[in-house]
C-alpha cells in the first residue's frame, strides 16, 4: 500500500512539473504579445498625429508645405527605424504570424499615414515591394532580420487612407481649392476601381473597408457634383454649407468637425 | 485615367496575385484536412465502445483499430508538413487547429484507457505525427484543449462505467481528473478560448465527484470488487 502511494506521488509530481513548464511557456507568449500590443499602440498614436499634421498643409504656401512634408517624412522614418524595428527584434526566432494580430492595427495606421504623405508629396502611391524595403533591418552584427508586412495590412491601410482624402477634399472645398477636390475625387475613384476588381472570398474586414471606401467616395462625388452645378451661382465658401445640409444622413465623418 | 491604371498595376494586381497564391495553398490544406477529419470521425466512433462495453477484449480491439487509424492521420500531417511554407504555421493555423485539438483528446483518451496515465506532450506529438517536423508542431494550447476535452469525456465515462457495473473506474477517473485540475490551476490563463474551456472543467470534476459520492455512500467502493477491477486495469 505504501509503495503504491509513493508511486502515485511521483506520478503527481510529473504532472505538476509538466504544468509548471506549460505555465512558463504560456506566460512568455502572453508577455510577448502584450509587449507588441503596447508597441503597436504607440505607432498608432504617432501615425494619427502625423496624419493630423499633414491635414494642416495649406497648399497655397509652398514653403510651409515643404516644411510640414519634411517633418512628416522624418517622423515616418523614425517610426520605421525605431518602433517597427523593436517589434521586429522582439519577433526574431518566432513565427510572426502568431503575433500578427498584435501589431496589425499599428501597421495599418502607419500605412494610412505613409500613403497620405506619399500622395501629398508625389501624387502617387508606392507599391508593396517598395514599402516593404522599409521593414528590412540590419543589426550591429550585420545579421539581417525583417518585420512581417502583410499584404492585407497594406491594402487595408490604403482603404483607410481614402477616408483621409475625403476629409482633405472637404477641407479643400472650404479653402476654395476646387481643382484639388476633383483631383482627390479621381484618385479615390481609381482606388475604388481597384477594390471592385479584387476577388477575395470571406474576408469580412476587407469588405467592411471597401464599404466605407464607397461611402467616402459617394460623399466626394457629391462635393464635385455641387461644385459643377452650382459653382457659378454662389460664392465658393458657401458651397460647403450647401453640401453639409444635403448630407445629413451621412455618418462616416468619424467626428470630424470643420 | 492614367492614375487609375497606375494604381491598379502597382497596387491591386500584385495584391490579387498574392491572394490567389494564398488561396491555392489553402485549397491544398483543405483537401488534406478532409482526409484527416474522415479518420478522426472513425476513431471517435470506434472509441464510443468504452461507454457501452465492459468486455476488455472489445475495448482492446477498438483501441487497436484507433491506433491503426492514427496511421492515416500521421500520413495527413506528413503531407501538411510539406505544404506549409517554413515559418508560416500560424498563417494557416485556422484550418487545422480544431481538428488537432480533437485528435489530442483522442490520443489522450487512448493512453488513459491503456495505462490510466496522463499523456505527455511528446507522446501526443508522436501519435499525431507532428513530432520533430520541419514546419508543423503541436501547439501547447491545442494539447491543453485536448486534455480539457478528455476531462469532459471521462465524466461521461464515469457514469457509464457505473451503469455497466464497474464501480472502481469512477474512483480512478476522479483521482486522475483531480490531478489534471490541480495542474490547470497552475496556469495563468488569459481571457481566451482556453480560459473559457477551462471554466467547464469544474463542472466535470463536480459530476465525477457526485458519482464517487453515490458509490461510497452505498458502500460500493468496497475492497473486494474494486480490488479486482484495479488489478484488471493495471494489467
CATH number at residue B112: 1.20.58.190
* B181-212 pLDDT tens trace: 999 999 988 878 899 999 999 999 999 999 99
pLDDT of residue A175: 76
Is A155's CB within 8 Å of B15's CB? yes
Binding residues of B: 153
Q: What is the mean pLDDT of chain B?
A: 89
Query: Which domains, ranges and CATH numbers included, belong to chain A?
Result: 1-149 (1.20.58.190), 150-258 (1.20.58.200)
Q: Do B130 and B168 reside in the same domain of the chain?
A: no
**Phi, psi values for residue B137, rounded to 5°:** -150, 180
Of B138, B154, B174, which residue is a domain's last? B138
Same domain, B62 and B95: yes
Predicted confidence (pLDDT) at residue B116 exceeds the cutoff of 50: yes
Residues B19 and B98 in one domain: yes
Total domain count, chain B: 2
| Closest by Cα among A154, A156, A168 to A59 | A168
Q: Which of A13-22, B110-119, B134-143, B211-220 has the lowest mean pLDDT?
A: A13-22
Contacts of A22 in chain B (CB under 8 A): 140, 144, 183, 186-187
Mutation site, B2, B5, B8, B15, interface A, largest A CB count within 10 A: B15
- State residue B170's pLDDT score: 93
The reply to whether residue B188 touches residue A198, judged by beta carbons under 8 angstroms, is no
Single out the residue in B74, B108, B138 at which a domain terminates: B138
- The mean of the pLDDT values for chain A is 84
Q: Are residues B125 and B194 in the same domain?
A: no
**B133 plus B156 within the same structural domain:** no
- A122 pLDDT band, cuts 50/70/90, is confident
Same domain for B131 and B30?
yes
Does the structure show a pLDDT above 50 at A3? no
Q: Give CA–CA dist A111/A158, Å, rounded.
A: 7
Q: What is the 3-state secondary structure (H, E, C) of chain B?
A: CHHHHHHHHHHHHHHHHHHHHHHHHHHHHHHHHHHHHHHHHHHHHHHHHHHCCCCHHHHHHHHHHHHHHHHHHHHHHHHHHHHCCCCCHHHHHHHCHHHHHHHHHHHHHHHHHHHCCCCCHHHHHHHHCCCCCCCCCCCHHHHHHHHHHHHHHHHHHHHHHHHCCCCCHHHHHHHHHHHHHHHHCCCCCCCCHHHHHHHHHHHHHHHHHHHHHHHHHCCCCCHHHHHHHHHHHHC
Query: B230 or B143: which carries more pLDDT confidence?
Result: B143
Which of A16, A186, A198 lies nearest to residue B3, judging by beta carbons? A186
Cβ pair A190:B4 closer than 8 A = yes
pLDDT of residue A16: 85
Residue B235 above 50 pLDDT? no
If asked whether residues B113 and B183 sit together in one domain, one would say: no
Cell matching residue B227: 480490488
- What is each CA distance from A235 to A71, A238, A242, B2, B177, in whole angstroms? 35, 5, 11, 32, 80
Residue A101 grid coordinates: 494580430
Please name the residue of chain B whose CA is at the shortest distance from the CA of residue A9: B179
pLDDT tens string A145-200: 889 999 999 999 999 999 999 999 988 887 777 888 898 999 999 999 999 988 87
Buried b (16+ CB within 10 A) or exposed e, B3-17: bbeebbebbbeebbe
Proportion of chain B above pLDDT 90, given as a percent:
74
What's the gap in Å between the CA of A241 and the closest CA on chain B? Answer: 30
- Provide the pLDDT for residue A11: 57
The residue among A164, A136, A162 whose CA lies nearest residue A149 is A136
Q: Which of B3, B10, B90 sits opposite A98 (nearest CB)?
A: B90
Beta bridge partners of A138: A144
User: A113 in helix, strand or coil?
Assistant: helix
- B187 and A23 in contact by Cβ < 8 A? yes
DSSP summary character for residue A83: I
Question: Cell 540590419 identifies what position?
Answer: A138
Host H or E run for residue A137 = strand A136-138
Confidence grade of residue B3 (pLDDT, cut at 50, 70, 90):
low
Residue B138: the pLDDT is 93
Q: Which of B138, B162, B193 is the last residue of a domain?
A: B138
Q: Do both B60 and B133 map to the same domain?
A: yes
Q: How confident is the model at residue A236 (pLDDT cuts 50, 70, 90)?
A: low
Chain A positions touching chain B (beta carbons under 8 Å): 8, 11-12, 14-16, 18-20, 22-23, 25-27, 30, 95-98, 100, 124-129, 151, 154-155, 158, 186-187, 189-191, 193-195, 197-201
Window from A45-49, A139-143, A253-257, B5-9 with minimum mean pLDDT:
A253-257
Confidence band of A1 (pLDDT split at 50, 70, 90): very low
- Residue span of the structural domain in which B49 resides: 1-138
pTM: 0.83
B100 with B176, same domain: the answer is no
pLDDT band for position B77 (cuts 50, 70, 90): very high
> pLDDT value at position B224?
46
Residue B162 pLDDT class (50, 70, 90 cuts): very high
Residues B176 and A223: their CA atoms lie apart, in Å, by 71
Nearest CA in chain A to B179: A12
The residues of B whose Cβ lies within 8 A of any Cβ of A are 3-4, 6-8, 10-12, 14-16, 18-19, 23, 87-91, 93, 117-118, 120-121, 140-141, 144, 175, 179-180, 182-184, 186-190
Residue of chain B nearest A93, judged by CA positions? B87
Nearest CA-CA distance, residue A177 and chain B, Å = 20
Distance CA B199, CA B152 (A): 12
CB contacts < 8 A (A, B): 107
- C-alpha cell, B60: 482492446
Start-end of H helices in A56-176: 62-78, 85-90, 96-122, 128-132, 151-175
- Give the distance from residue B88's alpha carbon to the nearest chain A alpha carbon, in angstroms: 7
pLDDT of residue B227: 47
pLDDT, one tens digit per residue, over A57-111 is 866 677 888 889 999 999 999 998 899 999 998 888 888 999 999 999 999 999 9
Tell me, yes or no, whether B130 and B45 share the same domain.
yes
Calpha distance B43→B83 (Å, rounded): 25
Q: What is the pLDDT of residues B26-76, one digit of tens each?
A: 999 999 999 999 999 999 999 999 998 888 889 999 999 999 999 999 999
Among chain B residues, the shortest Cα distance to A20 is held by: B186
CA angle A152, A40, A85 (to 5 degrees): 90
Amino acid at each position: 500500500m505504501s509503495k503504491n502511494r509513493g508511486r502515485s506521488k511521483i506520478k503527481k509530481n510529473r504532472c505538476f512539473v509538466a504544468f509548471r513548464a506549460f505555465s512558463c511557456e504560456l506566460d512568455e507568449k502572453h508577455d510577448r504579445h502584450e509587449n507588441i500590443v503596447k508597441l503597436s499602440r504607440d505607432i498608432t498614436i504617432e501615425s494619427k498625429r502625423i496624419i493630423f499634421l499633414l491635414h494642416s498643409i495649406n497648399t497655397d504656401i509652398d514653403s510651409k508645405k515643404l516644411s510640414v512634408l519634411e517633418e512628416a517624412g522624418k517622423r515616418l522614418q523614425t517610426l520605421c527605424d525605431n518602433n517597427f524595428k523593436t517589434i521586429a527584434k522582439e519577433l526574431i526566432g518566432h513565427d510572426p504570424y502568431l503575433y500578427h494580430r498584435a501589431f496589425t492595427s499599428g501597421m495599418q495606421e502607419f500605412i494610412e499615414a505613409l500613403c497620405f504623405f506619399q500622395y501629398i508629396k508625389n501624387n502617387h502611391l508606392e507599391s508593396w515591394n517598395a514599402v516593404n524595403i522599409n521593414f528590412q533591418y540590419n543589426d550591429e552584427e550585420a545579421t539581417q532580420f525583417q518585420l512581417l508586412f502583410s499584404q492585407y495590412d497594406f491594402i487595408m491601410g490604403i482603404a483607410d487612407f481614402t477616408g483621409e482624402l475625403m476629409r482633405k477634399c472637404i477641407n479643400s472645398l472650404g479653402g476654395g481649392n476646387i481643382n484639388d477636390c476633383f483631383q482627390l475625387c479621381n484618385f479615390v475613384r481609381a482606388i475604388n476601381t481597384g477594390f471592385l476588381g479584387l476577388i477575395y472570398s470571406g474576408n469580412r474586414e476587407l469588405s467592411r473597408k471597401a464599404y466605407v471606401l464607397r461611402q467616402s467616395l459617394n460623399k466626394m462625388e457629391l462635393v464635385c457634383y455641387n461644385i459643377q452645378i452650382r459653382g457659378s451661382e454662389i460664392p465658393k465658401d458657401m458651397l460647403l454649407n450647401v453640401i453639409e445640409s444635403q448630407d445629413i444622413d451621412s455618418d462616416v465623418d468619424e467626428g470630424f468637425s470643420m | 485615367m492614367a492614375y487609375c491604371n497606375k494604381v491598379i498595376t502597382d497596387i491591386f494586381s500584385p495584391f490579387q496575385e498574392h491572394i490567389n497564391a494564398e488561396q491555392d495553398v489553402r485549397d491544398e490544406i483543405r483537401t488534406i484536412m478532409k482526409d484527416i477529419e474522415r479518420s478522426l470521425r472513425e476513431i471517435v466512433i470506434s472509441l464510443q465502445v468504452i461507454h457501452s462495453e465492459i468486455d476488455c477484449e472489445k475495448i482492446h480491439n477498438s483501441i487497436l483499430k484507433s491506433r491503426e487509424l492514427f496511421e492515416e492521420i500521421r500520413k495527413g500531417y506528413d503531407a501538411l508538413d510539406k505544404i506549409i511554407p517554413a515559418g508560416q504555421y500560424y498563417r494557416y493555423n485556422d484550418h487545422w487547429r480544431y481538428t488537432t485539438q480533437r485528435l489530442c483528446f483522442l490520443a489522450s483518451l487512448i493512453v488513459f484507457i491503456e495505462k490510466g496515465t496522463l499523456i505527455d506532450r511528446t507522446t501526443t506529438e508522436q501519435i499525431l505525427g507532428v513530432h520533430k517536423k520541419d514546419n508543423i508542431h503541436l501547439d501547447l494550447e491545442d494539447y491543453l484543449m485536448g486534455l480539457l476535452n478528455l476531462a469532459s469525456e471521462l465524466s461521461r465515462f464515469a457514469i457509464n462505467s457505473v451503469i455497466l457495473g464497474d464501480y472502481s473506474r469512477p474512483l480512478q477517473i476522479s483521482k486522475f481528473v483531480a490531478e489534471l485540475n490541480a495542474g490547470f490551476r497552475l496556469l495563468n490563463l488569459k481571457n481566451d478560448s482556453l480560459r473559457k474551456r477551462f471554466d467547464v472543467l469544474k463542472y466535470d470534476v463536480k459530476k465525477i465527484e457526485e458519482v464517487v459520492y453515490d458509490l461510497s455512500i452505498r458502500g460500493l467502493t468496497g475492497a473486494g470488487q474494486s480490488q479486482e477491477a484495479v488489478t484488471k486495469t493495471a494489467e
